[in-house]
């Protein structure tokens, strides 16, 4: 049924009409920081606190600030309060917090430590905010109406230092994002001064590396850092700081990367311990208190703390990556900038601020000069001014009469008319008039400053030197060089311990640590299943699994999950992707691929293949043609060195020989060497180690050369063999 209310629309036009305004609003008015280093929400909040008089004096309740900020930012009280929290000293997210706080504001490095409600906490602006609002009242930046047109707010704050680099900032817009790391204030000021003096200066000499409020260590790679400085994109690694308490056998982590939290680290370590990937940790807990962050990791006394931490750096966010994306709004357009282009834009912005406040000062001083020049004219005849005022009958005619009497304009006449009677004396008027010369010189100097960019840059440099001296602090994040860090091979990250592997007839594999096996040696199996092989090995060894399809599957033993004797183990059909009728017949664990594989076939041949033939440079999981498929297999066996074996045929013939008679091959699917000759169509039925046979006199069956027909099995050996089977 046709619906007449439906209207067809072109999808592209609809998106442009409905979606693009929203996307642009998020980019321009919400998520991306501007050249002053603030997003609109930050700027509105700080400006509100400035207008509330919180730059000095006592703190006020956060709820009061939140309520007042809603006049500029109508996004809800909790959104405003969360913005306030991030800017506070108590939250510890910024190198130089803008808000001096009292009360519980949570911590940047904690996911679960929540901030108190705004009715409990108190705030005021920190001293450094003087540099954000300096000369704001001198028209340094544009002012615009707020959302309902009831008050004005600044478009940008006239920051006297490159705040855009000093404090970390992150924003996610529509189709783009921004992620700015923080830098040390003193280094930023020094780098900016160097840039103002010489735009070709190498920023790496002054701005050594990012610096974060949470401290930690920065893994310095000059190539990576230079790429970030030049392009505004790139990444670097941060890692935690720790110390080892030998008396209590524990590691104390006291500084962590800026990008993670205590809870994330503790959860990751707990998972590693639960999954058996790390066995030297006995407990991990958060002991953060009023003295600061502390994660305590209890370890076994036999453990190497530095090696353990190297593993944790690799496996948890104790070492994390910070990805830089220096995306800023420059004159309303998002741009990704490196350090120099960013400082160039900030310098341009700051020069404009100084010119605007200089122009404001020129206008104010010119207005004052104009008034004083009018006052200078009545100095010639004060009595005349008094006579004009006294002789004027109507009040509204006083100013016109003064204008006519002294040849001055209305503004000057209004100023003279407002002078109090007690100040109409020669001394007062002379003192005021003497200011004319200094005002004229001041105006000339300001006009020269306004038009002289070099002088303006000197002013900026002087301000930066003062700020660096007044607010500069030592680095919190230590720089360590990547080539000085001990490289940890992947094998070193793997726990190594003794274990046993059990292979069952129905393709189940159990990996059980010996410690666990001693406490519960009884194996759980399916009712119709049985163990066909068990071997003792170590967790770092590799496992070769030979199947009935002439294929070998390779696994690293540490990739197999530990199990208990009470579980069935891993089902190899799923782990290896075996075919429906494929079975694993034999397994070999090796750490060095030394030794040989023996394959005995019904046709009487035995193949001796070097185990090294199954080693591969690439991490291949499956090798076909693992052994010859020309005759049914009788037995697979691994030997580390040559041994004596006994071969049995279906006509009770036996041959005892040494495997040294068989030349080793590197070809995996070699047919092997004839060991047992066929007689009247006989076939080989078994091949065993001598201690498996139950034979009393081995030498009776021993041959000097192969192939051989062998000797009939004696009656007494037949009985022994039957007993050994039973």
Q: 511 with 498: CB under 8 angstroms?
A: no
Cα radius of gyration rounded to whole Å, the chain: 43
pLDDT digits (tens, 9 = 90+) for 591-627: 999 999 999 999 999 999 999 999 987 778 899 999 9
Percent of the chain residues topping a pLDDT of 90: 63
Q: What is the C-alpha separation between 505 and 571, in angstroms, rounded?
A: 11
Dihedral pair phi/psi, residue 354, rounded to 5°: -65, -40
Catalytic residue from among 120, 147, 481, 700? 120
Report the DSSP pairing between strands 478-481 and 217-220. parallel
**pTM confidence score:** 0.76
Is 596 designated active site? no
Q: What is the C-alpha separation between 68 and 54, in angstroms, rounded?
A: 12
Q: What is the C-alpha separation between 374 and 403, in angstroms, rounded?
A: 10
pLDDT digits (tens, 9 = 90+) for 62-118: 999 999 999 998 888 999 999 999 999 999 999 999 999 999 999 999 988 899 999
CA distances from 172 to 28, 31, 167, 325, 617 (A): 12, 6, 17, 11, 44
Q: What is the number of alpha carbons within 13 Å of residue 26 lying toward its C-beta?
A: 12
Q: What's residue 726's pLDDT?
A: 42
pLDDT digits (tens, 9 = 90+) for 204-257: 999 999 999 999 999 999 999 999 999 999 999 999 999 999 999 999 999 999
Longest dimension (CA), the chain: 158
Q: What's residue 19's pLDDT?
A: 63
Q: What is the C-alpha separation between 714 and 613, in angstroms, rounded?
A: 39
pLDDT average, residue stretch 399-414: 86
Domains and CATH numbers, the chain: 38-158 (3.90.199.10), 241-317 (3.30.1360.40), 354-459 (1.10.268.10), 494-591 (no CATH), 627-726 (no CATH)
């Amino acid at each position: 049924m046709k619906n007449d209310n439906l209207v067809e629309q072109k999808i592209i036009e609809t998106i442009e009409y409905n979606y693009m305004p929203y996307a642009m609003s998020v980019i321009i008015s919400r998520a991306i920081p501007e050249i002053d280093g603030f997003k609109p929400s930050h700027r509105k909040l700080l400006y509100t606190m400035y207008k509330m008089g919180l730059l000095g004096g006592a703190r006020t309740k956060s709820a009061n600030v939140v309520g007042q900020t809603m006049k500029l930012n109508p996004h809800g009280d909790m959104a405003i309060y969360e913005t306030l929290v991030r800017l506070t000293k108590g939250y510890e997210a910024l190198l130089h917090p803008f808000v001096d706080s009292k009360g519980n504001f949570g911590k940047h490095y904690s996911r679960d430590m929540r901030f108190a409600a705004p009715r409990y906490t108190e705030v005021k602006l920190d001293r450094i905010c003087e540099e954000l609002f300096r000369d704001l009242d001198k028209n340094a930046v544009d002012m615009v109406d707020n959302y309902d047109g009831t008050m004005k707010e600044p478009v940008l704050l006239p920051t006297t230092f490159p705040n855009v680099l000093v404090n970390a900032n992150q924003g996610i817009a529509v189709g783009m994002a921004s992620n700015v790391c923080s830098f040390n204030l003193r280094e930023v000021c020094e780098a900016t001064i160097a840039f103002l003096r010489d735009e070709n200066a190498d920023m790496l000499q002054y701005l050594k590396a990012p610096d974060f409020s949470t401290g930690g260590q920065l893994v310095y790679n000059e190539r990576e850092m230079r790429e970030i400085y030049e392009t505004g994109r790139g990444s670097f690694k941060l890692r935690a700081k720790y110390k080892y308490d030998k008396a209590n056998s524990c590691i104390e982590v006291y500084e962590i990367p800026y990008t993670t939290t205590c809870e994330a680290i503790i959860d990751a370590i707990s998972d590693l311990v639960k999954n058996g990937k790390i066995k030297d940790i006995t407990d991990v807990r958060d002991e953060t208190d009023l003295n600061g962050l502390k994660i305590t990791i209890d370890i076994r006394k036999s453990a190497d703390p530095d090696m353990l931490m190297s593993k944790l750096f690799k496996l948890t966010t104790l070492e994390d990556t910070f990805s830089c994306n220096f995306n800023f709004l420059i004159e309303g357009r998002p741009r990704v900038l490196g350090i120099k282009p960013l400082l160039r834009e900030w310098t341009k912005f700051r020069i404009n601020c100084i010119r605007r406040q200089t122009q404001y000062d020129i206008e104010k001083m010119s207005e004052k000069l104009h008034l004083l020049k009018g006052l200078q004219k009545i100095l010639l005849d004060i009595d005349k001014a008094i006579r004009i005022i006294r002789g004027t009958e109507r009040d509204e005619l006083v100013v016109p009469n003064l204008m006519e009497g002294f040849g001055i304009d209305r503004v000057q006449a209004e100023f003279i008319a407002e002078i109090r009677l007690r100040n109409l004396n020669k001394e007062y008027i002379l003192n005021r008039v003497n200011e004319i010369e200094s005002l004229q010189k001041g105006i000339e100097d300001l006009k020269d400053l306004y038009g002289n960019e070099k002088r303006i840059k000197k002013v900026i440099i002087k301000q930066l030197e003062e700020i660096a001296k007044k607010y500069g602090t030592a680095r919190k994040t230590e720089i360590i060089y990547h080539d000085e860090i001990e490289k940890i091979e992947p094998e070193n990250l793997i726990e190594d311990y003794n274990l046993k592997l059990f292979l069952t007839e129905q393709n189940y594999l159990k990996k059980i640590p010996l410690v666990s096996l001693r406490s519960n040696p009884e194996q759980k199996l399916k009712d119709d299943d049985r163990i066909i092989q068990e071997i003792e090995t170590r967790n770092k060894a590799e496992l070769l699994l030979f199947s009935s399809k002439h294929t070998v599957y390779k696994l690293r033993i540490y990739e197999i999950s530990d199990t208990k004797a009470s579980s069935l183990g891993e089902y190899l059909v799923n782990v290896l992707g075996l075919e429906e009728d494929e079975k694993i017949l034999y397994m070999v664990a090796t750490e060095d691929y030394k030794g040989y594989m023996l394959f005995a076939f019904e046709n009487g041949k035995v193949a001796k293949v070097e185990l090294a033939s199954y080693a591969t440079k690439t991490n291949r999981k499956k090798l076909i043609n693992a052994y010859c498929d020309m005759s049914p297999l009788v037995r697979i066996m691994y030997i580390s060195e040559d041994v004596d074996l006994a071969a049995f045929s279906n006509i009770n013939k036996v041959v005892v020989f040494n495997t040294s008679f068989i030349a080793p091959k590197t070809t995996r699917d070699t047919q092997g060497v004839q060991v047992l000759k066929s007689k009247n169509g006989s076939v080989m039925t078994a091949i065993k180690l001598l201690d498996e046979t139950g034979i009393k006199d081995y030498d009776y069956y021993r041959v000097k050369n192969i192939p051989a027909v062998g000797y009939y099995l004696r009656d007494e050996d037949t009985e022994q063999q039957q007993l050994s089977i039973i």
